[in-house]
Amino acid sequence: MDEQLQDALKSLPHGPSFRFVDRLDSLDPGHEAVGIYQIRGDEAFLEGHFPGFPMMPGVILLEAIAQLGGVVAQSSLDDETMTDVRLTGIRAAKILGAAVPGDILHIRAKLEGRMGGLVQIEGEVAGPHGVLATARVTLSGTIA
C-alpha cells in the first residue's frame, strides 16, 4: 500500500522545489488524505523570510493544503479525471502559528464537494506545537 500512496503524489504537476508534500501517510481516494512535509532549511524562500529567523510563509502552508487536495481530487475512483488542476480560491484561511526548519508538518485535506471541474477542499496544517493553518480552498481543472 505504501507504494500506491507514493504513486498518488505523481499527480502533482509541481517540480521538486515547489512541492510541499513529501509523502502520503493515508489516502481515502476522492475523499481525504494526510501527508507529511519536513522543512529542510535549504528552501529558497527561507533565505528572505526572515533573515536570522527563517519561517515558512503562511501562503505556502495554504499551498500545501491545496497540493494535497489536488492529490485527493485526482485520486477519485468515482469522478472523471481532471488535468491542469490549479488553486483558484482561498476562503476562511487562518494562519495560527509559525513553521521553522526541522519541523515536520502534518497536512490534512478533505474533499467537501465537486462540481464538474471545480473542487472544494477543507484542510489544515499542524506542526509539533499544534495547528498552524486552516483553510477552505477551491481547485479548478479540466475534465479529461
Q: Is 49 annotated as catalytic?
A: yes
Residues 78-97: what's their mean pLDDT? 92
Average pLDDT, the chain: 93
Measure the CA–CA gap between 94 and 38, rounded to whole angstroms.
21
Q: In this structure, which CATH number among 3.30.360.10, 3.40.50.12780, 3.10.129.10, 3.40.50.150 belongs to the domain 2-143?
A: 3.10.129.10
Would you call the peptide bond into 50 cis, given omega within 30 degrees of 0 as the criterion? yes
Number of residues in the chain: 144
Catalytic residue among 31, 49, 106, 129: 49
Measure the CA–CA gap between 49 and 114, rounded to whole angstroms.
35
Residues 2-24: what's their mean pLDDT? 85
Three-state DSSP class for 21?
Answer: coil
At residue 12, the pLDDT reads 83
Burial of 98 from C-beta contacts in 10 A (0-12 / 13-18 / 19+): middle
pLDDT of 7 strictly over 90? no
pTM of the model: 0.94
pLDDT of 1 strictly over 70? no
Q: How confident is the model at residue 8 (pLDDT cuts 50, 70, 90)?
A: confident
Pick the more confident residue, 60 or 76. 60
Measure the CA–CA gap between 54 and 98, rounded to whole angstroms.
10
